[in-house]
Amino acid sequence: MRSFNKPLIVIGLTLWLGSLGMVGAQTQPDAVSGATQAAATTPATADNNEYGIVLSVLLDDAEEIPTDAARYLSNKLAQTITANGVGAFEGFSRFFITARLGLATRDIVPGPPAQIAENMEITLYIADYFDQKIFATTTINAKGVGTNESKAFINAVKNLNPHAEPVAAFVQKGKDKIIDYYRAQCDNIIKQAQSLAVQKKYEEALYLLTSIPDAAGDCFDKALNATALIFQQYTDYLCEVNLALAKAAWAAEQNSAGAQKAGVYMSLIYPDAACYGDAQALYTEIKGKVLDDWKFEMKKWQDGVDLESQRIAAARAIGVAYGSGQQPISYLLGWCR
């Protein structure tokens, strides 16, 4: 069976983050911003997301497909995911699901209008991107007829039924394998994150820890505890860096312009950071000199919302922002067969 020259769809595992629930601000280039920018990235999730996992849909750059057909296939895979207990989100992470199409026959049906009839196999995989291991696979036979190749392709993909037993079993097996991975590697992941934190690579550490889904049970609880400790280290680090920048900005220009620059850095300091008291003292000093010309308030946690939940949500946002920055330029997934 010859390969059908259409794209491989890649779906990377991420976590649903929820809302940060805090006051943010735009940053200047030298500011260390933490979760502020990450808060803008909000994945769509399934209502029945029982695993705490979301999968994102990406296209393999090495393959070609008509734009409308690619969009349809992406949406169909997203529907398949959400129908089986996970959410859908565009991004990249270690685990993914792909769809590969093998063209069996292609016939021209006389018209008018003439149409293309294609018989193909749609093979789905869930795999580990870094270790190049396939966790689950299933294949369905499909036929599509259309006035052009794109329409024939779309009509064939319509045969992919998210509720079909083989498809549901495939997704379940993939999810189970992902959970098994985290349970087996739990201690190694936490140790690696702790080592990264010692090197002040806090974003990467939080990315590793917050990638562990709640379905991992005890491993999730261990990761949550480690996340809280490393996030506190990170907030203290952000405070030291941004407070120093704020002091320098204010010392250079003790006027409204300097206050505005200092405020950008101070807006990135978390209220429970070790140096928050020093930041408040600087705020009071600046406010006393520029008075009403300075419309600025220090960062605050949202009232009426559990503090620990807000801190974990912020840590997860930092992890997702880091993971998004690690996205490969292109996907080479020829091994996934």
Top-ranked range on mean pLDDT: pick from 74-83, 214-223, 313-322: 214-223
pLDDT grade for 51, boundaries at 50, 70 and 90: low
d(CA 30, CA 41): 22
The torsion angles phi and psi of 286, rounded to 5 degrees, stand at -65, -45
Please write the tens of the pLDDT for every residue from 199-235. Answer: 999 999 999 999 898 888 999 999 999 999 999 999 9
Mean pLDDT of the chain, nearest integer: 80
Res 2: pLDDT: 40
pLDDT at 189 over 90: yes
Distances from the Cα of 168 to the Cα of 75, 79, 84, angstroms: 17, 12, 6
pLDDT at 57 over 60: yes
Top-ranked range on mean pLDDT: pick from 124-128, 137-141, 314-318: 137-141
Res 289: pLDDT: 86
Using an 8 Å Cβ cutoff, are 177 and 216 in contact? no
pTM for the structure as a whole: 0.77
pLDDT at 273 over 50: yes
Distances from the Cα of 150 to the Cα of 2, 122, 235, 291, angstroms: 18, 16, 50, 64
Look at 266 and 62; give whichever has higher pLDDT. Answer: 266
pLDDT at 19 over 80: no
Tell me whether residue 41 is exposed, middle or buried, using C-beta atoms within 10 angstroms of its C-beta: 0 to 12, 13 to 18, 19 or more: middle
Q: Crossing angle for the helix pair 218-252 and 256-266, nearest 10 degrees? A: 170
Res 12: pLDDT: 40
Res 192: pLDDT: 96
pLDDT at 277 over 80: yes
Average pLDDT for 98-123 = 89
Res 62: pLDDT: 66
pLDDT grade for 39, boundaries at 50, 70 and 90: very low
d(CA 36, CA 25): 7
Give me Rg for the CA atoms of the chain.
25
Look at 111 and 247; give whichever has higher pLDDT. Answer: 247
d(CA 238, CA 173): 41
d(CA 316, CA 313): 5
Please, which residues bridge with residue 109 across strands? Answer: 115
pLDDT grade for 337, boundaries at 50, 70 and 90: confident
Percentage of the residues of the chain whose pLDDT score is greater than 90: 41
Tell me whether residue 249 is exposed, middle or buried, using C-beta atoms within 10 angstroms of its C-beta: 0 to 12, 13 to 18, 19 or more: buried
Left if phi > 0, otherwise alpha if psi is -120 to 50, otherwise beta: which for 175? Answer: alpha
pLDDT at 18 over 70: no
